[in-house]
Amino acid sequence: MPRRRKEGVSFVRPISPDPRYGSELIEKFINVIMWRGKKNAARTIMYDAIDLLIKKSNGDKEKALAMLDRAFEQVIPLVEVRARRVGGSVYQIPTEVNRNRARALGMRWLIAAAKVRSNKTMGGRLGEEILEASQGRGGAVKKRTDVHKMAESNRAFSHYSW
């Protein structure tokens, strides 16, 4: 069995939608939250966060799911910086982010920002972070703006991206 991928061939494992809301985004979030194979614990965390969103939106499921989508769109980065060694020095070169990588970064940043919040349960922390991200605030949105500022300040080195 070859260890390397063939050129031009990419394998993306299909993800089935989650059982409660029928959303692939929620199932992907559950998979990213999952730790040591404990999927039921990850589902509990995600569904607690969505229940908090439903409670904040006066019991409207569609509005809560739209809030989740809006928060996710607020967090997804468009550009990032990558280190490249040119000559004897290392430059931070801004590059566009692949769609799949941008989704993964957005999920990672939302979960990391939720972990450092002060709330009793992880579901509550994640729900509050998603709520703030949908309003354009929060730690994950700050991380995205920091990455975009870094890319903007290093725009002069973009000619090294060959």
Domain 24-160 = CATH 3.30.750.24: no
Q: In this predicted structure, what is the pLDDT of residue 123?
A: 95
In the chain, where the domains are located = 24-160
Residue 162 predicted with pLDDT over 70: no
Q: Which tens digits make up the pLDDT trace of 63-75? A: 999 999 999 999 9
Q: Which tens digits make up the pLDDT trace of 114-150? A: 999 998 999 999 999 999 999 999 999 999 999 999 9
pTM, entire model: 0.87
Q: In this predicted structure, what is the pLDDT of residue 1?
A: 63
Q: 27-65 burial by CB neighbour count: b if 16+ within 10 A, else e?
A: bbbbebbbeeeeeeebbbbbbbbbebbbebbeeeeeebb
Determine the residue type at 56: K
Contact 111, 75 (CB under 8 A): no
Band of pLDDT at residue 49, cut at 50, 70 and 90 = very high
